[in-house]
Amino acid sequence: MGLFKKIAEALRKTREAFRRKLDALFSHGELNDEFYEELEDILISSDVGVESAMEICEELRTRARKEKLRTAEDVRGLLKEIIEEDMQAENDFKIEYPAVITIVGVNGVGKTTSIGKLANYFKNQKKDVCLVAGDTFRAAASEQLSEWAARNKVRVIKHEEGADAAAVVFDGITSAKARKTDVLIVDTAGRLHTKTNLMEELGKINRVIEREYPEANKYTFIVLDATTGQNALSQIEHFNEYVDLDGIILTKLDGTAKGGVVITISREYNLPVVFIGVGEGINDLEEFNAKDFADNLF
């Protein structure tokens, strides 16, 4: 399956729900207050946040007046353009090497699976990859990561369960520097903001990376489950209190009609969606592309 087809299939549920409502709205014909109110409701029901939905509709109204658009159908292309422009501004993201990528997120969002897919992605880019089993909290976490490492034929650095996660990261950095590794991917324990000790552990891991590998390009990606919609946004806020997030890996996009959350992430959090999960296979992690996303919504 080609890249465009994968993204199209991943967005199928979101697209079908969104287009059905838009088609009914655009058939009304008249651009009036009722049209914009109904459009706002449609955006919110697709899991675009309230604030973002209001801003999009206001911008659409202003630009429609300026361009002297008369009918509802006239603004369909303009709405797509506005959404694409918003996301494109935040998603011009490039990873530079050597890179240390720390993966964070709550339990159950697909962190370890995303790491396995990331390793495959970078291997396909002809990069040398090493994984660090920094989740020493969850039973069998390092074994699961080791399975992904074996599948991708990359190195993995791990300690015993219950070990100091920062110490594992230290060993990973030592290995990466000695082997001139292009990409070091650090797994971390799934945590909620209520687990203060685990949240503070993230800060400790970051300090070790900063101190021991200052010449590396450092990135922290949060993994979010697209099926949780707006609930994913509170996770961004909580994690940002402890670490500076650089981007998002959005998983399970193929399993939800709530893909509009991508629009809110871009508008309200100024964070790029760097990768999206478009299926369950090892190759089903793709770079996010704002144009492809918008094209597959309308």
13 is in an annotated binding site: no
296 is in an annotated binding site: no
291 is in an annotated binding site: no
3 is in an annotated binding site: no
254 is in an annotated binding site: yes
- The kind and range of the H/E element at 250 are strand 247-251
284 is in an annotated binding site: no
Bridge partners of 220, per DSSP, are 102
12 is in an annotated binding site: no
Bridge partners of 273, per DSSP, are 248
- Please report the beta strands in 82-216, taking only residues with DSSP state E, as ranges in sequence order: 99-104, 129-134, 155-157, 183-188
252 is in an annotated binding site: yes
120 is in an annotated binding site: no
136 is in an annotated binding site: no
- The kind and range of the H/E element at 219 are strand 217-225
Residue 281: partners with Cβ closer than 8 Å, 6 or more residues away: none
188 is in an annotated binding site: yes
Bridge partners of 155, per DSSP, are 130
Would you state the structure tokens that stand for residue 167, as one six-digit string? 């110490």
107 is in an annotated binding site: yes
Handedness of CA 33, 34, 37, 43 (dihedral sign): negative
63 is in an annotated binding site: no
117 is in an annotated binding site: no
62 is in an annotated binding site: no
Q: Pick out the residues of the known binding site.
A: 105-112, 187-191, 251-254
Q: Pick out the residues of the known binding site for GTP.
A: 105-112, 187-191, 251-254
